[in-house]
Structure 1
């Protein structure tokens, strides 16, 4: 009597169950692993040069590359945090002084059309008196003490989770550098077995797409943050460094950079600096036009010119699912989906249809007979 289940079927079911169990138990490491893979793909050409410099010693090259990545991550964050703390301390000093002496309403609030006078009146009534801010803080903290405590706990938990994610990402990145060539060779063997006709195209498109997307988005965001931050400082905006960092992060989102400098321009116009506000808006518009028409297609395009809607869905879905890392993971996954779709369409279009599926050619004899009857 033949067995009910064949041996290959049992092996496939067991492999599927093992894979599902691995996804279930190790799903929490998906974000750091994806982040490490994206950084590894984007920096792989530079890492190959480091390997050549180290005479093929992958462990030494991976250590050097990881230290470079750590410096590239920590140095900008440290500088931005330093300036942000300085500006935040200045704001805290202003709040303490305003609580001790009372603060008059700012000019930009009084200059607001239609509602400026009413808001200024509320300000004078509730905030211009000495110790008015302290009274409001005590009132709000007493009513919402539990919410404040839960918010502080949630913020602490999120910071701890972010630190662990960063640590696991760096550990994974080290082994991606060290064993990346061996893993790629194994993936090539499996890919040729699964997709024998299209794997070579997919294996070339995937790393190029990841590198182009990450490098393009990162360079454009950093450039726009620096350029618009300098423009903020020239226009006389308070806290230009902090606003430049915020603009750089907003530049990762479609429409984020124009929204940032438009709000700052409106603030300048409302505070009485009409020329500075209009000049900042014109400068931001021209800079954004130049970036979108020249740099962005060259940097982000690569093999996949990702349209606006997939980019937007990738960003929103990535942030909603994975947090800050999703700013890069979401667009990269969407770019890969678009690249795989286009490569599949290209393969289908280049494959000739079999003759059996082609429609049969019409017999010209009846037409000739009909034409002869008409002529008669």
Structure 2
């Protein structure tokens, strides 16, 4: 239907005093009326079209704002959903950007495994070479790796306090140790046997096998908080009231003729380094039962680092690096002409 003329568009009646104006013929009046209605209809359509344009423009603006808002939400969702929006490579780059240098805890006094030469400032040994190779897999060159001296007794606290990022220090990798020390392991990167280090040509005791040490009830020393501390007592060996923080201190007690210590208990490869350094006074007994798997230790709560360490160590074990490091660092201690079978890496999923 045609729209009705609004009151504002009605023509007012002429005043009574105004002179009469001749009216148009009926046909002209009718045509004028239809023209007026068509004009008003056209005006209405123009106005309606303009309103639609405004509404559509506004709707488009709202739509574009809604889309922008959606993208913003998505972006914030990416940030909130994990580092670098779930991109592991980008997340690792962010991790490295925040940590320009990698600090690794290692023992300073274990020849063949990890040794710090105070005169030259150089670290050497199998653990050190493993640590350097692993750092390379994480994207750190040797110039950006710092070693920090740790002991058996303090290595867990150094990790948890954030003083070191990783520990590679003949750290026995067991579920019990993870729980006790409150840390996580990746590995093993080496499997060691157990043994005893004794004095050579002792005036009082002739100790040639582990049974001699147990039967004669001589005192055995081991590092405090090592896996041997509880084992020695359970297996019937005699131990002192307190144990030192390092195996080096145990060896010093062993060499002190005034000491009651006649043996040091630890891993065969670890003790072999001390025996090689002082063959005149020290003797390594044959390896006994048991295996000590060495693991790379780290703090809890950093799954990204754990994943990178796991994949890096897997690469090291899969290639020639491991065997080459063994022959360079440990073959002189063990006397092996070929590298042993490589350790089998345990699954690294989860924490």
TM-score normalised by structure 1 residue count = 0.22
Structure 1 or 2: more strand by fraction = 2
Structure 1 or 2: more helix by fraction = 1
Larger Rg, first or second structure (1 or 2): 2
TM-score normalised by structure 2 residue count = 0.23
